[in-house]
Amino acid sequence: MKILYIFPHPDDECFGPAPAITAQLRSGFEVYLLTLTKGEATKQRHRLGITKKEMGEIRYKEMLCVEKTLGLTGMTVLDFPDNELKNLNPIEIENAIEKQIHQLKPDIIVTYAVHGVSGFHDHLVSHAVVKRVFCKMKGEGVSYPKRLAFYTRQGEIVKDGKFRLEASSGDEVAFIQECSQEDMALFHKALDCYETYQQIIEESNVKKLATSDVAFEIFGEKFEKRLQSIAQGLSGNLEK
């Protein structure tokens, strides 16, 4: 069974869901990553004295390290302009995402919850366009993807200096992926791949804030109790 994570930037896969990704890989899922931009607009480029294009290429190489470290089944990085998704025609982004979905035929797609965790506008746009593509394909009777999940946080909203992390309520969380110490260690190792982003990683305190229980919402489905697997209830699922 295939899971496709869709995020706007390099490092989005690591700031929270990475332990779940490795846990799902260990459980026998094929896990793919689609990133919409190369993250070239980061202010770290000013510190390094390089152009956006050069920054994008560096971050792409760092993502190749992440792909290997997490053991992803596959990864695709598109070249939409970082920090500019809100200014683009959303149909253009939707078409690119739909093309990738048709090529891969994933059973489950995952993106940010409606609050985008950090509230950054690229995250919010990603939530909206992925949900729109999912609903469009369901309406057309396409057999894949079968489920749309949203990566989220549970518990309290975190306010730490310039960083604010949103959370979903307990009622909104449909599944919690329990992760091992091995999963957490690989998550830390994957974060280390982003050598040019270490200042932000340290300032965000993500290695301490991230927990071994990763929360997901499920779109358009109702459950009497929380799922035991992200694929529970889907045909041919991999419940371990």
Domains of the chain: 2-218 (3.40.50.10320)
Residue 153 phi/psi, 5-degree rounding, is: -115, 150
CA–CA distance from 95 to each of 36, 113, 235 (Å)? 12, 21, 27
Would you say 99 and 133 are in contact if contact means Cβ atoms under 8 Å apart?
no
Residue 220 exposed, middle or buried by CB count within 10 Å (0-12, 13-18, 19+): exposed
Segments of 179-239 assigned E as strands: 213-218
CA–CA distance from 161 to each of 11, 14, 119, 158 (Å)? 20, 21, 15, 10
Candidates 210, 208, 228, 209; CA nearest to 218 is 228
- Name residues whose C-beta falls within 8 Å of residue 29's C-beta, 6 or more positions apart in sequence: 1, 2, 3, 231, 238
pLDDT band at 162 (very low <50, low <70, confident <90, very high): low
pLDDT > 90 fraction of the chain, expressed in percent and rounded? 80
pLDDT > 70 fraction of the chain, expressed in percent and rounded? 96
What is the average pLDDT value for the chain, to the nearest integer? Answer: 93
- Which tens digit of pLDDT belongs to each residue from 107-137? 999 999 999 998 899 999 999 999 999 999 9
